[in-house]
Amino acid sequence: MSSTLLEVTRASHEEVERLERLIVKDLQNEPANNKDRLFQSHRVRNMIENIITTTEKLVEIYEDKDNARRDEIAALGGQTAMGTNVFSAFYDRLKEIREYHRRHPAARVVDANEDYEAMLKEEPVIEFTGEEAFGKYLDMHELYNQYNNLKFEKPIEYSTYLDIFSQPNIVPRKLKFSRQYREYMENLLEYLVYFFQRTEPLQDLDRIFSKVTTEFEEQWENDAVQGWEKTSQENGHLSADHTVIDLDFYSTVEELKEVGPEKLKEALAALGLKSGGTVQQRAERLFLTKDTPLEKLDKKHFVKGSHGSEPNGGAATSKEVDNSKEIALMEAKINKLCDLLDETIVRTKENVVKKQALTYDEMEAEREEEETQADTESDDDEQQIYNPLKLPMGWDGKPIPYWLYKLHGLGQEFKCEICGNYSYWGRRAFERHFKEWRHQHGMRCLGIPNTKNFNEITSIKEAQELWKGIQERQGVNKWRPDLEEEYEDKEGNIYNRKTYTDLQRQGLI
């Protein structure tokens, strides 16, 4: 019965209206946790996509390029080639309806609301890795390995990489023209886009990137893109940094070949060397200059009349300029995504640093605790607790009394630079943190033993000066096993040998 074009149009309008009401109803429910928030966002996103698809079909029907809608409206009005006959059209339609119900005597009206209401309970499938913890953290391990293989940086730790991956402008411009760097930037952008789409499905990423591209084009025209300023451009020639390849980052001719024939040709021309031949020959000729000064090279390698000439920078090809612009635009998009994911990046860094300081037993216990907490989270809507003073929550899940808040000085903030400028609220928490994993990890990074001598010291400079003074008084090379040899108990607490032995003797460990 819904085979006619007008019936399809009516049903499509009804579907759009139902989905709109369903979106409003879903968004009126406050999610209890992050998992429910993601489910809700993806449900709404799927419904919006259904609305867009249905609307596109309606637009196509109303455009009526094949005149099918016009002919059907005319047929309903009884207009035929023989003239207008309203009664004939009416009885033909009535006959069609009766015939349908005769063939389907058990047909009943189906309540579409039941199917649509079931969509509110749907849990969309969202793919996250174990490291991402359902969108709580970033999983950058593959990109981290790719970054360390770029050969323009010494290998760095994963926690350090999380600090610098969002700052592509710190990479020297002359190192950005290799194929490996471009592939790394493409993979980084692809992952950040994919992660953002999974965690923020209601954000219009196309509109965000459109704005970024518009701003970038304006900055590029005004030579104001950070890290890509043409500071040495003269008469349409690029600086030597743009064409000369830094050979310190290549250990073999095979690695140098990966730069590409065009880049090799420009680098050779910038040095006054012959730029012809195969990629292998160009790479071998350029690799000679790594350990041999230009003036000591055989004259056969130089272009006639250019022996001993200095690099002139070479003219910039349109292909190379386009490549520079594409890389710069990718960097601009990555910067924007990192701004949008700033909280997730910080949370990921804190989680990585915390894991580095935990023992295996502690990590297993924390994992079990997280699983237990996830299983016991209530799915029921809870009323928001009235807490205008933003007091800490007590053991019963309610704000603690204000007098207790003042008694313990929980409104007083203490910052520790050694802990990465982490804030501790209240004197008790501040004093206790000197024996906790965060401070211990910070002291280990500084190469300073976390002893009582450094209690109350939160400045890196003060800790280093005090440690230097202790070494000068006691002797740098003097080894004192009873005080400097570290022992760790089952709970991860660190003691020197003397303290650990005493506690063990007393049966406290």
**Would you say 208 and 336 are in contact if contact means Cβ atoms under 8 Å apart?**
yes
Describe the chain by its helix, strand, coil percentages, rounded to 5: 60, 5, 35
Q: Are residues 89 and 142 in the same domain?
A: no
Local structure of residue 315 (DSSP, 8 states): B
Say if strands 413-416 and 83-84 run parallel, antiparallel, or are unpaired: unpaired
SS (H, E, C) 316-352: CCHHHHHHHHHHHHHHHHHHHHHHHCHHHHHHHHHHH
**Would you say 362 and 490 are in contact if contact means Cβ atoms under 8 Å apart?**
no
Helix ranges, 357-496 (H)? 360-376, 402-407, 427-432, 437-446, 460-474, 481-484
Q: Are residues 459 and 489 in the same domain?
A: no
User: CA-CA distance, 352 to 140, in Å (whole number)?
Assistant: 11
User: CA-CA distance, 158 to 156, in Å (whole number)?
Assistant: 7
Where in 12-158 does DSSP place strands (E)?
79-80, 83-84
Q: Where is the domain boundary, 120, 140, 156?
A: 120
Nearest to 344 by CA among 133, 68, 490: 133
Specify which residues 487 forms β-bridges with: 495
Q: Are residues 287 and 332 in the same domain?
A: no
CB atoms within 10 A of CB 168: 22
The model's pTM is 0.54
Tell me the pLDDT of the chain (509 aa) as tens digits: 446 888 889 889 988 998 898 888 888 888 888 888 888 889 899 999 999 999 999 999 899 888 888 877 777 776 665 666 667 777 777 887 788 778 877 665 555 565 667 777 778 888 888 888 888 899 998 998 988 887 666 788 888 888 888 888 888 777 787 788 888 899 999 999 999 999 999 888 899 999 999 999 988 888 888 777 765 443 334 444 445 576 766 778 887 777 778 788 877 777 777 777 788 888 888 888 877 777 677 777 777 655 544 444 444 444 455 678 888 899 999 999 999 998 999 889 888 888 777 777 777 777 676 666 655 554 444 455 666 767 777 666 677 777 777 777 777 888 999 998 888 888 888 888 888 888 888 888 888 888 888 888 999 999 999 888 888 876 655 566 666 778 888 777 888 888 888 888 887 77
CA distances, 269 to each of 78, 262, 276, 302, 491 (Å): 82, 11, 10, 9, 64
Within-domain flag for 180: yes
- Kindly give the interhelix angle for 205-221 and 179-199, rounded to the nearest 10 degrees: 140
Within-domain flag for 164: yes
User: CA-CA distance, 275 to 281, in Å (whole number)?
Assistant: 9
Within-domain flag for 241: no
Domain membership of residue 263 as a residue range: 247-296
Q: Are residues 277 and 350 in the same domain?
A: no
N-term to C-term CA, the chain: 80
CB atoms within 10 A of CB 426: 18
Specify which residues 393 forms β-bridges with: 399
pLDDT (0 to 100) of residue 317: 47
CA distances, 19 to each of 12, 54, 113 (Å): 11, 11, 10
Q: Are residues 144 and 291 in the same domain?
A: no
**Would you say 250 and 287 are in contact if contact means Cβ atoms under 8 Å apart?**
yes
- For 37, residues 6+ apart whose C-beta sits below 8 A from its C-beta are 31
Within-domain flag for 445: yes
Q: Are residues 49 and 115 in the same domain?
A: yes
Q: Are residues 470 and 494 in the same domain?
A: no
CA distances, 106 to each of 94, 103, 111, 273 (Å): 19, 9, 16, 89
Nearest 5°: the CA angle 374, 379, 384 is: 105
Q: Are residues 60 and 168 in the same domain?
A: no
- For 108, residues 6+ apart whose C-beta sits below 8 A from its C-beta are none
pLDDT (0 to 100) of residue 475: 60
User: CA-CA distance, 168 to 180, in Å (whole number)?
Assistant: 14
For 243-273, give the DSSP string. Answer: HS--GGG--SHHHHHTT-HHHHHHHHHHTTB
- Token digits for 378? 């209530």
pLDDT (0 to 100) of residue 115: 63
Within-domain flag for 67: yes
User: CA-CA distance, 239 to 496, in Å (whole number)?
Assistant: 58
User: CA-CA distance, 215 to 226, in Å (whole number)?
Assistant: 13
Domains in the chain, number:
5
- Token digits for 58? 């309606």
Q: Are residues 327 and 416 in the same domain?
A: no
Q: Are residues 469 and 487 in the same domain?
A: no
Q: Are residues 341 and 216 in the same domain?
A: yes
Within-domain flag for 388: no
Q: Are residues 292 and 346 in the same domain?
A: no
**Would you say 292 and 252 are in contact if contact means Cβ atoms under 8 Å apart?**
no
Q: Where is the domain boundary, 120, 145, 173?
A: 120
Within-domain flag for 125: no
Within-domain flag for 20: yes
**Would you say 478 and 436 are in contact if contact means Cβ atoms under 8 Å apart?**
no
User: CA-CA distance, 243 to 259, in Å (whole number)?
Assistant: 12
SS (H, E, C) 140-160: CHHHHHHHHCCCCCCCCCHHH
